[in-house]
Amino acid sequence: MKSVVIIPARYQSTRFEGKPLAKICGKPMIQWVYENSGKAEKIGHVVVATDDDRIAEVVWAFGGEAIMTSDQNRSGTDRVAEAAEKMGLSSKDIIVNVQGDQPLIDPRCLDDVVKPFSNDPETDMSTLAFKIVRKEEITNPKDVKVTFDQKGFALYFSRSPIPFGRDCPADSETYKHLGIYAYTRQYLDIFRNLPEGRLEQIEKLEQLRALEHGYKIKVVLTEFDSPEVDLAEDIERIEQILRCKFLGVRISDNGIF
């Protein structure tokens, strides 16, 4: 059993075209994601899965590995599954799906997300959650929230605040879902062929498909946030965080770190 990171990346996007190639402190965003993923101790291989020559050429130029995939894939998960097939991964190999818009991904997160597969061989799928410290993320629908049971298995994912504190909403601990998944190759093939779920369709959250069909998702808590780049204006905040890290400054107000 081995663990590999596959980063799905596409050029076309209605909100931010060419996002993987956007420069962050002078370096393409996809390069930040690739290089940070490669620093994880438990990851042996990192690959970018794309359907666009421009992205592939940039990855090859900085010394990374890219696999060309079909432009007919419905989602990033389908793209990851196709890349895994082309790589000839075995059914028990662990695939970590890292979103290409998380340039600040901490490699220790990736080591954490694959741990459940060693602790419990029956694990099919795991993901990450971070305790929210920036209060605006609790109500922002772009920040997905997750609740989980006493054994750490996901109960629900939502764009709404969950759980909702009826009496003292501000005192509720709320966890943000970080869009990083790990699954066995065998389960990934099962997941991609499941029919779309009703809740998945309503919330527009692919991971709900697994819960709706009775599969468990292990939620791993991490100390490291991984802010996403959804729009071009998000890059300014990412660059601010990087500059502060370089200077050794820890920003606690607004929960940047």
Residues 6 or more apart from 83 whose CB is under 8 A from it? 6, 8, 47, 49, 67, 69
pLDDT at 50: 95
Indicate the pairing of strand 125-131 with strand 3-9.
Answer: unpaired
Give the closest residue to 181 by CA, choosing from 62, 4, 2, 54: 4
Question: Is 246 inside any structural domain?
Answer: yes
Residue 82 · residue 68 · CB < 8 Å:
no
Question: Is 256 inside any structural domain?
Answer: no
Place of tokens 């059914």: 91
Question: Is 236 inside any structural domain?
Answer: yes
Question: Is 101 inside any structural domain?
Answer: yes
Question: Is 38 inside any structural domain?
Answer: yes
CB < 8 Å & 24+ apart, contacts of 231-239: 231/15, 231/16, 232/16, 232/22, 235/22, 235/24, 238/24, 238/103, 238/104, 239/24, 239/25
Tell me the average confidence (pLDDT) per consecutive run of 10 residues in the chain, 257 residues long.
92 83 93 96 94 96 96 88 95 94 93 92 92 91 95 96 79 89 96 93 95 96 89 88 68 45
- Cα–Cα distances (Å) from 49 to 63, 200, 205, 237, in that order, read 15, 24, 21, 26
Question: Is 257 inside any structural domain?
Answer: no
**Alpha helix positions (H), 12-130:** 29-37, 53-61, 76-87, 107-119
**CATH code of residue 173:** 3.90.550.10
Number of domains in the chain: 1
Question: Is 70 inside any structural domain?
Answer: yes
Domain that holds residue 9: 3-251
pLDDT at 247: 54
